[in-house]
Amino acid sequence: MAGTAARGKVTIATLGSHCALQVLKGARDEGLGTVLVSEKKRLDLYQRFSFIDEIIEVNAFSEILDDSIATKLRKKNAILIPHGTLISQMSSDEIEKIKTPIFGNKWILRWEANREMKEKLLREAGLRTPRSVRSKNEINGLCIVKLHGAAGGRGYYLAWNRESFEEGAQRLVEQKTIQGENDLYIQEFIRGVPVYLQYFYSPLSKHLELLGIDRRYESDIDGLGRIPAKQQLGAGAEPSYNVIGNLPLVLRESLLDEVYKMGEGFVKASERLVAPGMTGPFCLEGVYDSEGRFTTFEFSARIVAGTNLYVDGSPYSDLLYDEPMSMGRRIAREIKIAKKKGKLGAVVT
Ligand code: AMP
């Protein structure tokens, strides 16, 4: 990376949303500077936290592409931590044009955003994935219909035949959520329990760490069980999958060996397909079925919001560290070690 950050104090920068608080708290805990790029509407929230050294106000997050913001960040030796809001609000082309050094591999974010590339990487990693259904005429059994991009489950619906697919699509068109059926993606619905595996891969030590596990709390699918069957039928309840928050989870210990192997398979596959590979935080997202088999329906190639649960460490990070180690703090620790070794170039792109 450019020489300046290698010399002065490093500042951790991120966008005001998603997991910004945890990331900047972790940076402060590691003695690094912190800067937040925030929209005006969120200033009230973020001004409450004393570990944020400076807030750069913007009208839209895409302003981080502007020279004036890039210069401000460069003067602070900033390294930008990408998260879900960056992915959902900026295109892959825009993200790749950001001049501020990005922690991890910015090229792999395109693989997260693009459905075909995503499936290719999951297959290359040897992971079990849900069958994707190419056309509404091929729906055979329960399917989940998704929107492209990181929409946080918003707008997803279930379909079991052509008619139920078309009905759902029509609803989304009327709500102006999509323009037409081509904006939808159909995938086999996996029965079981959803689980999110939070990993960190260090390009410096070449070790994979499992730092936490969570499940999402989604509205209103996770509330439907509170309505008795008779009333559900009467009300014609249509579930939605909008993420509201996250709940902590630990797995049966006998499943952990496979969890590590799946993560390592993913790291190796990413090294083959998209140099320099999957460095830093990432998440494999899937469903454990009744046989204890994991099917991966998604990955996130950057920090996920479920890590916000573990600001003070998780049952898994506690097994690896004798101090509270959030994902945000782990990122800052990697940057600190890289700087000390003169290897910042290995942790940013
Ligand atoms: P996503 O935005 O892809 O992470 O999915 C949002 C939610 O939809 C997940 O947390 C799951 O509850 C559900 N989901 C996604 N894909 C599948 C699938 N193939 N089978 C079952 N549930 C799924």
What is the residue with the minimal CA distance to atom 12 of ligand 1?
A: 194
Which of the four pLDDT bands, split at 50, 70 and 90, describes residue 149? low
What is the Å distance from ligand 1's center to 72 Cα?
A: 39
What pLDDT, in 10s, does the model give residues 80-99?
A: 999 999 998 999 999 999 99
pLDDT, tens digit, 9 for 90 and up, residues 213-265: 999 999 989 999 999 989 988 887 778 888 999 999 999 999 999 999 999 99
Residue 147 CA to ligand 1 centre (angstroms): 11
Tens of pLDDT, residues 41-55: 999 999 999 999 999
Structure tokens at 75: 């003067």
End-to-end, the C-alpha distance of the chain in Å comes to: 8
pLDDT at 36: 98
In the predicted structure, residue 347 carries a pLDDT above the cut 90: yes
Q: Is the pLDDT of residue 270 over 80?
A: yes
Question: 348 vs 6, 66, 326, 327, 335, CA distance in Å?
Answer: 12, 20, 20, 16, 9
Confidence of residue 2 (pLDDT cuts 50, 70, 90): very low
Higher pLDDT, 9 or 1: 9
Taking alpha carbons only, the member of 149, 150, 239, 135 closest to residue 186 is: 135
Average pLDDT for residues 57-65, to the nearest whole number? 95
Q: Is the CB of 269 under 6 A from ligand 1?
A: no
The response to whether residue 153 sits with its C-beta less than 6 Å from ligand 1 reads yes
User: Rounded mean pLDDT of 138-145?
Assistant: 95
The best mutation among 132, 144, 147, 187 to test binding of ligand 1, ranked by most ligand atoms within 8 Å of the C-beta, falls on 144
Mutate which of 158, 287, 288 for ligand 1? The one with the most ligand atoms within 8 Å of its CB, which is 287
**Closest C-alpha residue for ligand 1 atom 16:** 297
Q: Which is the closest atom of ligand 1 to the Cα of 156? A: 8
CA 277, CA 275: separation in Å to the nearest integer? 5
pLDDT in tens, 284-330: 999 999 999 999 999 999 999 999 999 999 999 999 999 999 999 99
Matching residue, tokens 């805990």: 29
CB-ligand 1 contact for 216 (6 Å cutoff): yes
pLDDT of residue 7: 63
Q: How many whole angstroms from 234 Cα to the centroid of ligand 1? A: 26
Give the residue among 237, 240, 87 at the shortest CA–CA distance from 153: 240
